[in-house]
Amino acid sequence: MDWHAKWIWDSGEEKPRNKWLCFRRNVTINEKPQSACLHITADSRYELYVNGARIGNGPVRSWPFELSYDTYNLTDMLTTGVNCIAVFVTHYGTSTMQYCLGRGGMIAQLDLVYGSGSKQTIGTDRSWKCKEHDGYQRNSLRISPTQAWMEIFNANNSLWDWTLPCYDDTAWENSREIGACGIKLWGMPVPRDIPFLRDEPVYPKMVEGMRIVKPVGQVVSVDMQEIFTGEVDDRVKKNILGYFCTVIRSPEDMRAKIHFPIFKWMGIFGRFKLNGQVYEPDSEPCTVEVSLQKGDNLFIMDISGIYRDILVHMCIEAEAPVSFRSPLGGNGGFICVGPFECKPILQIGENIDFSVDKENADYKKFWDIESEYELKDFADYIKYVPSDHVCSENIMTIMICQNVISASPVSYDMQNMIIPNDSFSLIEPRSGGDTEIIVDMGREVSGYIEFDIDAPKGTIIDFCFTEAMQGGEPEYMNKMFNTMRYVAREGRQSYRSVIRRGFRYIVIALRNYNRAVRFYRLHTNLNTYPVAELGSFKCSNGRMNELWEMSKHTTRLCMEDTFVDCPSYEQNFWLGDTRTESLANYYAFGAYDIVKRCLKLAPKSLFRSKLPESQGPGAFRNILPAWSFLWIMACREYYEYTGDKELLAEVFPHLMVTAENCRNYYINEQGLFQINAWNLLEWAKMDTPGAGVISHQNMELYKALTDIAYIAEQLNKNTEKIWLTDFANKLKKAINKYLWDEDKGLYFDCIHSNGEKSKIYSIQTNIMAYLCDCIDETRTERVEKYITDLSEGKAWIGSPFMTFFHLEALFKAGVAGEAILNYMDDCWDEMLREDATTCWETFKNTRSRCHAWSAAPAYILSAFVLGIRPAKPGCSEVMVDFDTSGLSWARGSIPTPLGRIDINWEVKNQSITVNIRGPENIRYIIGNKVKIHNNTKILINGQEIAV
């Protein structure tokens, strides 16, 4: 790509907070081009329009030093005459766990080739017009610590038709050139390495309910993150000492309730003083009854603790409205005081002290303040919160803090809003409250909502997206703000959201409207990685069929521009999740490019950390060693399924750096891996402290080293193979010498940093020892006995993610297939009973209800019940082996790089017939579990073979 275009922005701030900019350029074309390609990228994200039509968005997530650019073929979209290239860009102004803060910028280049052979290049420069889009409210809230900003849109401030050639942009400013492509800020952009995501309309199943509601009070959210810490470019948690203060102005003496409705994962509340009286909130969330005096009421809250985002969310329910004033006369209504101490919690393989001294003299002295005047003594600590960091449109808080006045029947005409027809749902104003409508998509979706309405000017339409209903009530996801507000202009209008969300239910509240609203259409534009549903599974156990389909759908929704953990809360690329999601994808879809992209992206964090970080690319710097090692295992598995040596060669240097750093920095005197990091394996009560020797990590490292040695062999890297094998053998010896309890006949969870051996012998640790092949062979039988006790699995394991490994271990140990299927049925039972359409993050009290680290059935059932697994890299040979116990038949399809394999087996009277159809250039190896039947008949592509 030969770049001539310039990076451009407006004349304002370099790193504006939550800013939306419009760029446009009219291009006159005198003859139809033979080809027209537009190359584009932006910081932070863009949407592209050509002659008013939305073309796409991007870029895909990437590290700043290799920012991705997209290429669009516009040949059939451009006409002779005037054409408009319009780009809508948002700059976050803060880092997320998917994005590292850069500066606002956009670059685009249109390359035209004509039939005569002549060429024309039109690139971004100062001739492009730009203007801020005032329709998007900038003092919004972060959706979650991992994502950017909640969407608040006022259609009365919108720039209608600005993407069309006829739009008059003479009042817009000319763009400011930042520099040529390749400048140090971003480096030279790299081409996108995956296809564009699918964008398909999906209509809801039904309007589920309708009722009249009334919010109970005044809502305010105060974002102190940047003000308090002075940082916007990292997403690590911090241990802080400090306070939040305001003066609540009351028109009269009155009782009031202060609601703190948001969990501390997304907000802060703690002990507070109001006019000197101390209150101690004792639950999460909580409501506190207080007394307000007429006039000024000094409010001081202790916000000390460990938080990723420093925000306070309140709803004040009182007989009359109150207002907020900044103490000591500042603007914005609020101040924060501190930090008296602030320590980042960096789990990056280093011994970092992040404790704070709660005996800090100034911190303790401030709590004794009784009057606003005394604040002057702490002037050096006081920071005024600007008004653009204060939001009164926290839709989640509004919807949680409301009273239900009455339920309304849902007439069939109300269903028109979700049916693709020419009719509409008529929503009349209701006295005494707002109209709330609950829409069921019928299953979990991930995408951009779009709607078409006719409404009076100023109508407020609030959207809250959730994944479940409980007892007829929406299960509000109050550990994130999965919400949106739309303020209508007068008349007929349509809108497509600019934020992708995961959800099943939509709670829609209509407020402030004085005539009937006509709701013509509501749907979601499903936005996931483009796949064909090549895999399939059916068997004689209907519950297994449900689990396979549920797991397939979960996996698809968690395939974006990378694999993500979930489409709602985080949308985050976690390395450990990617290994399990890849395996499910191999059997459900056979989409290999997304796996390749993830495996290449994962180690790029080595530029700042000694091991590949737990997730990225983003500003949350964190090492989770199990995830680093699972990435290595996933590299080998990718090769086994695809035969792609190019990927091995590309990642091999990163694999070696990882292994060398483990040896050079984290092997202790006993020869064991020891690190200060996030030492998680799963959400369960294991003994895995942040420091010390963690047993499961040593086992995973051993497996990772043997996998790198295997990869070295494939690449003819003999010197490296010898070194890796020696390292692995020494580690295995140390594991069995120091982490084994002979009396218990099991491996214990850890050796604490003080040298004390753990008293916990978790099944998880022993499952990893078994799967990673690091058990002394004289001990295997004792470990097998423990991990194949299925009651132990149910007692210990906290998530379907860990059950994924347990199921692998059960098949490896030769446990009867019927017992394994019953165990899997039992584990996923509650999801099926609650009509879940996707797999949950945990078995009980789950946060996310769509989490593909839990999609084990898509892999397990295809690999071990249909029984097709690669025997040679690239599936040039496959093993066909399965245990038929508990089933009378199974059939399905398995994608491979060489083509699809269809298999159908049936057992009758202890005889089995297996019918396989697949590519002729695949060799099919029949396993012993198939051969044990009294009469075995195998047909491959219609030809019976001897067994």
Quick: pLDDT tens for 378-407.
Answer: 999 999 999 999 999 999 999 999 999 999
Exposed (0-12), middle (13-18) or buried (19+): which is 583, by Cβ within 10 Å? buried
Mean pLDDT of 368-376: 94
Reference 26, options 236, 188, 170; nearest CA is 170
Flag whether pLDDT at 479 surpasses 90: no
Rounded to whole angstroms, the Cα distance separating 465 from 139 reads: 21
Bridge partners, residue 876, by sequence: none
Quickly name the fold that domain 536-866 has.
Glycosyltransferase (1.50.10)
Flag whether pLDDT at 615 surpasses 90: yes
Quick: pLDDT tens for 821-878.
Answer: 999 999 999 999 999 999 999 998 899 999 999 999 999 999 999 999 999 999 999 9
Rounded to whole angstroms, the Cα distance separating 645 from 888 reads: 40
Mean pLDDT of 183-193: 96
Structure-token match 């976050």, residue found:
92
Report pLDDT for 933.
Answer: 85
DSSP 603: G
Domains 6-196 and 201-213+401-526 belong to one CATH topology: yes
pTM check: above 0.85:
yes
Nearby residues of 773 by Cβ (< 8 Å), 6 or more positions away: 702, 703, 706
Superfamily of domain 218-393, CATH level 4 = Galactose-binding domain-like (2.60.120.260)
Task: Calculate what percentage of the chain has a pLDDT beyond 90.
Answer: 93
Quick: pLDDT tens for 640-677.
Answer: 999 999 999 999 999 999 999 999 999 999 999 999 99
- Backbone dihedral region of 484: left (phi > 0), alpha (psi from -120 to 50 degrees) or beta? beta
Flag whether pLDDT at 494 surpasses 80: yes
Report pLDDT for 258.
Answer: 98
Superfamily of domain 6-196, CATH level 4 = Galactose-binding domain-like (2.60.120.260)
Domain ranges (residues) in the chain: 6-196, 201-213+401-526, 218-393, 536-866
Nearby residues of 224 by Cβ (< 8 Å), 6 or more positions away: 244, 303, 310, 311, 312, 334, 336, 383, 385, 389
Looking at domain 201-213+401-526, does it have CATH number 2.60.120.260? Answer: yes
Reference 558, options 203, 839, 933, 235; nearest CA is 839
Exposed (0-12), middle (13-18) or buried (19+): which is 230, by Cβ within 10 Å? exposed
What DSSP line would sit under 818-873, residue for residue? HHHHHHHHHHTHHHHHTT-SS--SSSSS-S-S--GGG-HHHHHIIIIII-EEESSG
Flag whether pLDDT at 143 surpasses 80: yes
Mean pLDDT of 553-558: 99
Task: Calculate what percentage of the chain has a pLDDT beyond 70.
Answer: 100
Quick: pLDDT tens for 894-942.
Answer: 999 999 999 999 999 889 999 999 999 999 999 999 998 889 999 999 9
Query: Chain-wide mean pLDDT for the chain?
Result: 97
Beta-carbon count within 10 A of 823 CB: 19
User: Are the beta carbons of 492 and 453 closer than 8 angstroms?
Assistant: yes
Report pLDDT for 161.
Answer: 95
Exposed (0-12), middle (13-18) or buried (19+): which is 581, by Cβ within 10 Å? buried
- Backbone dihedral region of 874: left (phi > 0), alpha (psi from -120 to 50 degrees) or beta? left
What band does 250 get if pLDDT is binned at 50, 70 and 90? very high
Flag whether pLDDT at 803 surpasses 80: yes
Report pLDDT for 358.
Answer: 94
Report pLDDT for 381.
Answer: 97
Three-state DSSP class for 169? coil
Rounded to whole angstroms, the Cα distance separating 736 from 769 reads: 10
Quick: pLDDT tens for 126-137.
Answer: 999 999 999 999
Cis peptide before 321 (omega within 30 of 0): no
Report pLDDT for 112.
Answer: 98
Report pLDDT for 709.
Answer: 99
Report pLDDT for 332.
Answer: 85
Quick: pLDDT tens for 413-422.
Answer: 999 999 999 9
Report pLDDT for 422.
Answer: 93
CA dihedral in degrees (741, 746, 843, 261; nearest 10)? Answer: 10
DSSP 37: E
Reference 947, options 907, 913, 902; nearest CA is 913
Report pLDDT for 265.
Answer: 83
Quick: pLDDT tens for 203-236.
Answer: 999 999 999 999 999 999 999 999 998 877 777 8
Rounded to whole angstroms, the Cα distance separating 205 from 443 reads: 8
Count CA atoms within 13 Å of residue 893 on its CB side. Answer: 13
Report pLDDT for 339.
Answer: 96
Quick: pLDDT tens for 586-595.
Answer: 999 999 999 9
